[in-house]
C-alpha cells in the first residue's frame, strides 16, 4: 500500500444542488458511471415561450455544472480523499466540468502568447508545460485536497486574532508546532505537503513551504530568502504585508525579534522587518548570538535570492477558472497570478515593488523545489521507501479483533482473526490539524490504551509494532495539542511523561536528541517557562545546548536560556 493511499483522508458529505446528481455521483464511486452532461443552452431568438424555455434550460445547466464541482471538491476534502472516496473519480468529475461547462476546449486554459515573454524569465520549460495543461491531473487533485487542508489549518490558527500581522505570526507558530524539525538534511525524506502535515515532521525548507502555503490561503504573499552561497541553516521566510517584509526563521521555528518586542515575554510575538534588519544589523547578531556565523547576516539578506515556493498548478489558468467557479461555501484559495492580471501587479510585481523597491535588485526565482519534491515523493524507493513505510505504519492503527472469537492453541495462547486497519490515528491527526484539539486529544488517549494486548494473545509482529508506534505518536500529539491550546502546565506533564517512557528511543548513536524527542524537550522548556517553572526551563535548555542539541537548534536554546534568565532576575 502506498503512502498516499494511507495519508489521504475522508470528510463530511455535502448535499449537491440536484439530488439526482448526488445519487449518480455516489454511483460513480461504486461502479464508475459518469454523470449526465448538462443540457446545452438554447440559442437566442424567437419570442415569448422560446425565451422562457431558454432561461429554464440555462438555469438547469448552471446547476448541473455546479454539481460537477461540488461533488468533486467534496470527494477531495481532507477527511475523505483516500478513505471514503478515490482520487481518479474526483478528477474525472472535474474534467467532465472542464469539457462540458468550463469551455476548456473552445478556450484552452493555456499560457497566452502575451504572457510567455514575462513568464519565461522566471519559469523553466517543465513548469510552463505544467501550467499549459488543458485537463486536471491527479497531482492537481492532491493540490486541491491540500488547499482545503491548509485553509482549515490557517482558520484554526488565526481564530481570535485582530490583524494580519497577528494572523501571520499565529499561522507560523501553528506550522512549526505541528511540524517538528528534521535537523539533518541527510535524514530528510521527499514528502508531499500533505504527508509533511500528517506525519508532523519536516526539514526547515519543508516547514517554510507549508507556512507559505498557509499564507496563500489568507491571500498574503510570502517568499523564501536564501543567500547567494547556500548554507544549511541560512533560510528565512519573508511575509509581504502592506509595504513591509516580516521575517521568520523556519529552522528555529521563531520570528526574528523586532526592536519593539517586549523583553518580559516568554515567547516572541513581534517579528522584525527586512528594513529594520538593514537599519540595525545587530538585530540578527543578537538573536543568533555565538552562532551568528552559520546564520543569515543583514548583508547576506540584502543580496539574498528571493524564492517563490508553489506548485505549478497554483499559477495555472485552469486553477484560476476553477477557483472562479467555486460556490460561496468553498472559500479556499487555488490560484495566485505570477504576472499582472486585471489590475493586480502579480506575485513577482509585488515582490519588486514592496517597500519602494527594496528587493528590485534581488534575483527572483520561481522555485522548482515543490514540483521536484512531489515527484520524488511519488517515486521514492529503496531504503528511503522502507523508512517511510515504517513512519506511516502507525497511521493505519488500530487493527480490530473480536476477543469473543478467540481460539486457544496447543501452547495455551489465544488466536483471533484480525480485521482491516481502521486508520483511526490518521483521522485523529487530520482532526487535530483542522483545529479540533479537544476531540483529537480524547482520541489519542484511547489510541494509547490500544497499544497493549493481553499477554496470552498471539499478535502478528507488524500489528504489535503498528500499535506501539501509534501509541508513541499519540503521546507526542497529545502534548502538542495541549501546547497549542496554551494549556502549558498540562502540556509540560505530557512531554515529561513522553521523555520518561522507557521504550521510546530519544537519542541517536552520537547522543543527539532525535526529532520527536528534540521537539518534546524544546516545547517542554517553553511550557515550563510559561507556567512559572522558569528555572527548570532554563536548566533544561542550558544543559542540553551543547550535550545533545543538534547544531540546527542551538541558537534557539541559547537565545531562550539568556532571555529567560533576564526575566527571572528582574522578577526576583
Q: Give the model's pLDDT for residue 503.
A: 66
Burial of residue 352 (number of CB atoms within 10 Å: 0-12, 13-18, 19+): middle
What does residue 407 show for φ and ψ, rounded to 5 degrees? -120, 130
Question: Which ranges of 334-486 would DSSP assign to H, the alpha helix?
Answer: 346-357, 369-378, 382-392, 424-433, 437-449, 461-484
Burial 201-214 (b: 16+ CB within 10 A, else e): bbbbbbbbbbbbbb
- Count of other CB atoms within 10 angstroms of residue 108: 16
Q: Give the model's pLDDT for residue 62.
A: 82
Q: Are 256 and 271 in contact (CB under 8 A)?
A: yes
Q: Give the model's pLDDT for residue 129.
A: 97
Q: Give the model's pLDDT for residue 431.
A: 98
Closest by Cα among 390, 446, 454 to 422: 446
Closest by Cα among 150, 157, 160, 161 to 171: 157
Q: DSSP characters for 510-533?
A: TSPBPHHHHHHHHHHHHHHHHTT-
Q: Give the model's pLDDT for residue 11.
A: 36
What does residue 393 show for φ and ψ, rounded to 5 degrees? -55, -50
| HSE (side-chain half, CA atoms, 13 Å) at 440 | 25
- Count of other CB atoms within 10 angstroms of residue 408: 10
pLDDT digits (tens, 9 = 90+) for 487-500: 999 999 999 999 98
Question: From CA 456, how far away is CA 453, in angstroms rounded?
Answer: 8
Q: Give the model's pLDDT for residue 546.
A: 87
Angle in degrees, CA 446, 450, 455, rounded to 5 = 150
Torsion, CA 113, CA 118, CA 124, CA 125, rounded to 10 = 10
Question: From CA 472, how far away is CA 444, in angstroms rounded?
Answer: 10
Q: Give the model's pLDDT for residue 514.
A: 74
Q: Give the model's pLDDT for residue 98.
A: 96
* CA 410 from centre of chain: 51
Torsion, CA 144, CA 32, CA 57, CA 66, rounded to 10 = -20
Q: Give the model's pLDDT for residue 136.
A: 98
Q: Give the model's pLDDT for residue 505.
A: 72
Closest by Cα among 437, 528, 506 to 477: 437
Domain segments of the chain as ranges: 62-376, 380-571
- Name the CATH superfamily for 380-571: Tetratricopeptide repeat domain (1.25.40.10)
Closest by Cα among 232, 222, 170, 178 to 202: 178
pLDDT digits (tens, 9 = 90+) for 424-457: 999 999 999 999 999 999 999 999 999 999 999 9
pTM metric for this prediction: 0.88
Q: Give the model's pLDDT for residue 237.
A: 98
Cell of 387: 523508512
Q: Which residue has the cell 485582530?
A: 162
* CA 375 from centre of chain: 17
Q: Give the model's pLDDT for residue 508.
A: 74
Local confidence pLDDT in tens for the 572 residues of the chain: 333 333 333 333 333 333 444 434 443 444 444 444 443 333 333 333 333 333 322 344 788 898 999 999 999 999 999 888 999 999 999 999 999 999 999 999 999 999 999 999 999 999 999 999 999 999 999 999 999 999 999 999 999 999 999 999 999 999 999 999 999 888 899 999 999 999 999 999 999 999 999 999 999 999 999 998 889 999 999 999 999 999 999 999 999 999 999 999 999 999 999 999 999 999 999 999 999 999 999 999 999 999 999 999 999 999 999 999 999 889 999 999 999 999 999 999 999 999 999 998 999 999 999 999 999 999 999 999 999 999 999 999 999 999 999 999 999 999 999 999 999 999 999 999 999 999 999 999 999 999 999 999 999 999 999 999 999 999 999 999 999 999 999 999 999 999 988 567 777 777 777 768 999 999 999 999 999 999 999 999 999 998 889 999 999 999 999 999 999 999 87
Sheet with 236-241, strands from edge to edge, namely 254-255, 244-249, 236-241, 222-226, 305-308, 364-366
Amino acid at each position: 500500500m502506498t503512502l498516499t493511499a494511507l495519508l489521504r483522508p475522508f470528510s463530511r458529505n455535502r448535499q449537491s444542488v440536484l439530488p439526482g446528481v448526488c445519487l449518480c455521483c455516489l454511483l460513480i464511486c461504486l461502479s464508475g458511471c459518469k454523470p449526465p452532461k448538462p443540457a446545452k443552452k438554447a440559442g437566442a431568438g424567437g419570442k415569448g415561450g422560446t425565451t422562457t424555455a431558454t432561461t429554464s434550460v440555462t438555469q438547469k445547466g448552471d446547476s448541473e455544472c455546479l454539481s460537477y464541482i461540488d461533488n468533486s471538491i467534496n470527494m477531495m476534502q481532507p477527511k475523505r480523499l483516500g478513505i471514503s472516496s478515490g482520487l481518479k473519480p474526483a478528477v474525472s468529475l472535474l474534467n467532465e466540468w472542464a469539457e462540458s461547462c468550463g469551455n476548456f476546449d473552445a478556450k484552452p486554459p493555456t499560457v497566452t502568447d502575451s504572457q510567455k515573454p514575462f513568464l519565461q524569465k522566471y519559469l523553466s520549460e517543465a513548469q510552463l508545460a505544467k501550467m499549459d495543461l488543458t485537463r486536471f491531473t491527479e497531482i492537481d487533485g492532491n493540490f486541491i485536497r491540500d488547499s482545503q487542508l491548509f485553509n482549515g489549518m490557517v482558520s484554526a490558527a488565526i481564530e481570535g486574532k485582530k490583524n494580519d500581522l497577528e494572523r501571520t505570526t499565529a499561522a507560523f507558530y501553528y506550522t512549526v508546532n505541528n511540524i517538528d524539525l528534521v535537523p539533518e538534511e541527510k535524514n530528510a525524506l521527499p514528502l508531499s505537503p500533505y504527508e509533511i502535515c500528517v506525519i508532523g515532521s519536516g526539514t526547515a525548507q519543508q516547514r517554510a513551504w507549508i507556512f507559505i502555503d498557509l499564507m496563500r490561503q489568507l491571500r498574503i504573499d510570502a517568499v523564501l530568502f536564501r543567500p547567494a552561497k547556500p548554507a544549511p541553516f541560512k533560510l528565512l521566510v519573508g511575509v509581504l504585508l502592506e509595504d513591509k517584509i516580516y521575517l521568520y526563521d523556519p529552522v528555529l521555528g521563531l520570528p526574528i525579534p523586532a526592536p519593539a518586542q517586549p523583553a518580559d515575554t516568554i515567547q516572541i510575538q513581534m517579528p522584525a522587518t527586512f528594513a529594520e534588519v538593514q537599519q540595525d544589523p545587530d538585530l540578527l547578531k543578537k538573536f543568533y548570538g555565538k552562532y551568528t556565523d552559520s546564520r543569515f547576516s543583514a548583508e547576506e539578506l540584502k543580496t539574498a535570492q528571493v524564492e517563490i515556493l508553489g506548485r505549478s498548478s497554483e499559477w495555472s489558468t485552469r486553477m484560476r477558472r476553477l477557483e472562479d467557479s467555486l460556490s460561496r461555501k468553498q472559500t479556499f484559495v487555488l490560484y495566485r497570478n505570477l504576472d499582472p492580471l486585471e489590475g493586480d501587479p502579480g506575485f513577482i510585481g509585488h515582490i519588486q515593488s514592496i517597500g519602494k523597491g527594496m528587493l528590485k535588485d534581488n534575483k527572483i526565482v520561481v522555485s522548482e523545489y515543490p514540483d521536484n519534491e512531489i515527484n520524488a515523493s511519488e517515486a521514492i524507493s529503496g531504503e528511503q521507501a522502507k523508512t517511510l513505510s515504517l513512519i506511516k505504519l502507525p497511521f493505519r492503527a488500530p487493527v480490530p479483533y473480536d476477543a469473543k472469537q478467540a481460539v486457544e492453541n496447543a501452547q495455551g495462547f489465544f488466536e483471533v482473526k484480525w480485521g482491516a486497519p481502521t486508520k483511526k490515528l490518521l483521522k485523529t491527526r487530520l482532526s487535530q490539524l483542522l483545529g479540533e484539539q479537544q476531540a483529537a486529544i480524547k482520541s489519542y488517549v484511547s489510541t494509547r490504551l490500544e497499544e497493549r494486548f493481553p499477554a496470552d494473545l498471539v499478535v502478528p509482529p507488524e500489528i504489535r509494532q503498528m500499535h506501539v508506534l501509534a501509541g508513541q505518536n499519540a503521546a507526542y500529539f497529545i502534548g502538542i495539542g495541549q501546547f497549542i491550546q496554551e494549556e502549558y502546565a498540562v502540556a509540560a506533564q505530557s512531554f515529561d511523561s513522553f521523555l520518561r517512557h522507557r521504550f521510546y528511543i530519544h537519542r541517536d548513536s552520537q547522543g543527539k536528541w532525535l526529532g520527536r524527542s528534540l521537539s518534546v524537550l524544546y516545547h517542554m522548556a517553553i511550557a515550563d517557562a510559561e507556567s512559572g517553572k522558569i528555572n527548570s526551563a532554563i536548566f533544561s535548555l542550558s544543559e542540553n545546548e551543547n550535550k545533545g542539541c543538534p547544531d540546527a537548534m542551538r541558537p534557539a536554546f541559547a537565545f531562550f536560556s539568556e532571555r529567560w534568565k533576564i526575566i527571572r532576575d528582574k522578577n526576583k
